[in-house]
Amino acid sequence: MTFTLTVHDAIADIGREAWDACAYPTGDPFVSYDFLHACEASGSATPQQGWGPRHLALRDEDDAVMGVMPLYLKGHSQGEYVFDHSWADAYQRAGGRYYPKLLGAVPFTPATGPRFLHHPDTDAATVRQALIQGALTLVERLGVSSLHVNFPTEAERSAMAEAGLLPRQDIQFIWRNAGYQTFDDFLAALSSNRRKTIRRERRDARADLDIRVLIGADILEDHWDAFFRFYMDTGDRKWGRPYLTRAFFSMVGETMADRIALVMAFRDGAPIAGALNFIGRDALYGRQWGALEDVPFLHFELCYYQAIEFAIARGLSRVEAGAQGEHKIARGYLPSPVYSAHFIADPALREPVARYLDGERPAMAAEMAAMTENLSPYKTS
């Protein structure tokens, strides 16, 4: 079969039907048309914000879309959660131009998922290989420094390594469902001290509060107004400038409400804190959180314990609570490897980065093993 590749500066140019024919079978909410379109149409991921869409579409001889790849021309390295700032600084000090670069990823979303999406009527490996080569060709044609693909699947990581991209490993903290029927079943798998601590944290966090998990039509614009206040307050205190606009939340609330679990805490009927989760086919993905009151342990309750209860009730295999946070281990979220892959055009930068990654990977694996051995809250057999 003969394929052609087209490059699009808006996902709307490819269209919901064609995009989701490739994305929907994955069960991943973040590569859906609605999520990525909301990032663009809300003004959150746009060229003005340093995110210039360059999405790839693989088409057959009848111009039907057989595969797609979310791809962006990046003017910085913010909102990626895979950190290459030191590479950029070193290259620019040596007289090179690191930005713009190409990024295959979901904006502002450090969750592992498919990055090379194929139509069910096609061979996944064939489409994946064509999209990888298309992205590499685009690096050459645009004259940019590099291609980076963040949080790919295992099969994608292997295919990119075969294509010459440099593999990188990092650590996230993921809760895994060992067939629990209730939250108490999960607690029973922990050491006695951890069970007591978690019960105390939950009791203290929920005192005098009404905590609700809102899904679908239960999520109203008033809830998004409140949640955006929480999000902005957290962003202002931690990052300086939050990435997502208010319009983003309304858009995903309109198009993806059945794939959202919004955990809200109310005091005397007024919302004071919230945590936003997206529901995948087999996972719950924790995203943003915020609070207007400093309530002890409320962050753990809304972001971690409520997510575990939801996953158990839905029969989901895991909760992915986002990047960083060694404190998650004590709440049952164990270290797990996550990956990225990197092609750097200039050998003068590619070779030292390759040496650095060759040393970083075993160090990350050793750190993950040490954290699991020394910090795991689970009972030893």
One DSSP character per residue, 171-217 reads EEEEEE--S-SSHHHHHHTB-HHHHHHHHHHHHHHHTT-EEEEEEGG
pLDDT of residue 380: 86
Answer for the pair 248, 255: CB distance below 8 angstroms, yes or no.
no
DSSP state of 118: E
Its pTM surpasses 0.85: yes
Whether the pLDDT of residue 239 is over 70: the answer is no
3-class DSSP state of 329: helix
Write down the H helix ranges in the chain: 16-23, 33-41, 85-93, 124-142, 154-162, 183-188, 192-206, 221-238, 246-255, 298-300, 306-314, 347-375
**Tokens 């959150």 — which residue?**
44
Q: What is the mean pLDDT of residues 272-299?
A: 96
User: Is 290 a residue whose pLDDT tops 60?
Assistant: yes
Q: Using 50, 70 and 90 to split pLDDT, how confident is the model at 324?
A: confident
Residue 381: pLDDT over 90: no
> What is the pLDDT at residue 232?
92
What's the mean pLDDT in 354-365?
Answer: 96
Tens of pLDDT, residue by residue over 98-131, are 999 999 999 999 999 999 999 999 999 999 999 9
Structural domains in the chain, sorted by start:
4-171+337-375 (3.40.630.30), 178-316 (3.40.630.30)
Least confident range from 70-74, 238-242, 323-327, 361-365: namely 238-242
Say if residue 307's pLDDT is above 70: yes
Question: How much of the chain exceeds pLDDT 90, in percent?
Answer: 95
Residue 80: per-residue pLDDT: 95
Half-sphere exposure of 26 (CA within 13 A, CB side): 24
**What is the H or E stretch that residue 267 is in?**
strand 260-267
Task: Please check whether residue 44 is in contact with residue 245, taking contact to mean a CB–CB distance below 8 angstroms.
Answer: yes
DSSP 125-164: HHHHHHHHHHHHHHHHHHT-SEEEEES--HHHHHHHHHTT
Under 8 Å between Cβ of 159 and 342? no
CA atoms of 112 and 337, how far apart (whole Å): 10
The mean of the pLDDT values for the chain is 96
Indicate the pLDDT class of residue 242, thresholds 50, 70 and 90: confident
Answer for the pair 172, 338: CB distance below 8 angstroms, yes or no: yes
The band of 1, judged by pLDDT with boundaries at 50, 70 and 90, is low
Q: Is the dihedral of CA 241, 245, 249, 252 positive or negative?
A: negative
The residue behind tokens 């943003």 is 288
